[in-house]
Amino acid sequence: MGVHIQKSFDPGASTGTLYLVGTPIGNLEDMTFRAIRTLKEADLIAAEDTRQTRKLLTHFEIATRLVSYHEHNKQSSGPELIRLLQEGQSIALVSDAGLPAISDPGADLAAEAAAHHIPVVPIPGANAALSALIISGLPTDRFTFTGFPPRDKKSLQQWLEANGRTEGTLMMYESPHRLRKTLEAMFEVWGDRRMAMVRELTKRHEEAARGTISECLEWINEHPPLGEYCLIVEGNLNGGLDEAASDMPVWWSLLDLEQHVRYYEATCDRKEAIKKVAADRGLSKRDVYNEVNR
């Protein structure tokens, strides 16, 4: 087959161009001049959520025709968009927020266009994961974006074990109603790593909560999660994933028994907390109970 070279701005191109256009992740001023011009000049705009995108187009007085392209219709609309591109039309692809094709069905359209030797051109803009990374206070020289963690318990466990070996900083998205379960599972598998929970990026209530996983769990117990989160978590610093038990002394060895119990009480009742402390320390539940209730 050989290597195919894309000349993004070849005036003699026989096809149209697929533009991947970054849109605001919160503040409308995230929009670039180039993004506005591209949306105005394109023959068609393909959007994940046309209602959301229409608000953006109205704000910037963009009258380009808008069509729907999302996870549930991509099998039917994707081939039609490719056909239009092959006929010479230019299409601007946008997602609800940020860069299209990242944790987004636009990735399939971009790959299909590239396979058909149609130029795929990025129009850079805001990105939530990278924006969260650079304010997290964690290393930025090496990082991995992991999308959304799996929802069911077994898949999440496997996902955590696989990603736990990664030495670079980990970046992921999580919804507010899933946040607690994900952090609890992280703590169980990875131990008490440093992390940042970032939400409402570029909006009025932008917030970054920095601490360890256990400290962040305590924080959300007192401050119920609101809005979509970017989680930035320290990578594996010891070059390999040990059993969770071997990580535990690193965090709880500095606590006395009562502090250890209080830590777990942030997420469960006292009886269950005592049970967990006993398991951590290799003690009987009765011994822990007697010691903390003297």
What is the tens place of the pLDDT at every residue in 24-59? 999 999 999 999 999 999 999 999 999 999 999 999
The answer to whether residue 227 is domain-embedded is yes
- Domain holding 229, by residue range, is 129-233
Query: Taking the model in full, what pTM does it have?
Result: 0.77
- Same-domain status, 23 and 104: yes
Q: Are residues 65 and 145 in the same domain?
A: no
144 and 228 housed in the same domain: yes
Answer yes or no: do 223 and 195 share one domain.
yes
* Domain-ending residue, one of 110, 126, 142: 126
62-99 pLDDT tens trace: 999 999 998 888 888 899 999 999 999 999 999 999 99
Q: What is the pLDDT of residue 243?
A: 47
β-bridge pairing 169-174 and 91-94: unpaired
pLDDT band at residue 160 using 50, 70 and 90 as cut-offs: very high
Residue 57 lies in a domain: yes
**Alpha-helical regions (H) of the chain:** 33-41, 50-59, 74-86, 106-115, 128-135, 153-163, 179-190, 213-222, 244-252, 257-265, 270-281, 285-292
In a domain, 240, yes or no: no
Nearest residue to 148 (alpha-carbon basis) of 162, 130, 129: 129
Query: Residues 190, 287: one domain?
Result: no
Q: Tell me the pLDDT tens digit for each residue of 183-228.
A: 999 999 999 999 999 999 999 999 999 999 999 999 999 999 999 9
Cα 38 from chain centre:
26
Residue 188, in any domain of the structure: yes
How does pLDDT run across 95-116, given as a tens digit for each residue? Answer: 999 999 988 888 999 999 999 9
Q: In terms of domains, do 149 and 198 share one?
A: yes
**Of 100, 126, 152, which marks where a domain is finished?**
126
